[in-house]
Structure 1
């Protein structure tokens, strides 16, 4: 039954997910376009060009790129949160709960599919930023500068940072990758859990769910800052444990809120 639920959830979300991915492609193109103006090309040792309307358009495009990137990143969260609320706690949710499936299967299907779309959007954001950086670098660097030279210089810089500050770059990158992948799912569990907490009040339940979500994020950040304060005197330790702490706190919060979702869903069904 879990497979059927995942298939149904995928069909219900793929249109918006594909629209978001298409928007990311447009955003990435705008980012590339912003670095094709003469003012950027003049930085690689070429002749100094006058600041014209193309350069103004380039600066404007950079701002549009940044705004659209934020809109797409948060837009998928808003869509997934509203869909979860609609399909779980409104009249439409009544049909969801009549399916021959357990509450764990229903919740798991929503978290898995939502996590996949969040991961796809996150990967598209990382790819967009990577392509933007490459576009910027190869616009301003001197001619004949090879990509291998750039990545070699970055690798050498990471080695110097390791030796100076005493942190492990491989550990940092590894935990960052794991946290990004797992976090795509735990972040939705936290969002859905907060929306479920909003069902405990009598009015403005969706608003209260959003408020709970904000408060949970603030509380998480306060905990991370508290633990990080013990490592402020050592930059290496700070960089090593920063992502680790965030990852562990997200896991624990997601597990607790999953339990809250399960309890609240059971309670609403028993009262129905």
Structure 2
């Protein structure tokens, strides 16, 4: 049984802990100064505490705090070289974290779908261990990247869920406009996105080939696709990803400037 501590049980840390709890094969320690945050994850954790010293007994420590307090929290941790520290703190360079601890350090960018086992994540090649790979496999899919690509990963899979929610809501509204009630439209739209995403991951065909497979000549789908192809919808999504990437870089630069 792997002993895992999660420091910071807000949205992301809480989602990660709940995802790991689904297997029932870990000793999970939830650590947070906020009693409300601990209460929200209490049913999924083996133990809860406001004392970061509890992390000393863990094999893997997940640092899921806000970037502006990462340094202070790291200063309170006393981890050994036999432990692994996984940082989820956006914009905080791996080298900075590694300089504050003796533990092996890997930086990852997950997303909230970790809670349901459907996470998309990027993990830095440097510091990544088989033990961490196994944990990531439990909560979704991940890719291994050089840290210089972490900003674009933050935009694609970190910010991406919000972009997907936006598109799901648009499709839902189309269903409502056509006569479906809101609950029906939301179920159909959300499940359609879920199924389409799973098909992309599991099918060897390209996205273009999959679109062709759905589009029958003179059918309903091709009529809708013609509207999308004639629009700037794809460019708007690309621009949204680029804007999120720029902001991720700005946050990283601000953190580095503040560290000097």
Both proteins in one fold, TM over 0.5: no
TM-score by length of 1: 0.29
Point out the structure with the larger helix share: 1
Q: Return the structure number with greater relative CO, CA threshold 8 A, min gap 6.
A: 1
TM-score by length of 2: 0.30
Bigger CA radius of gyration: 1
Point out the structure with the larger strand share: 2
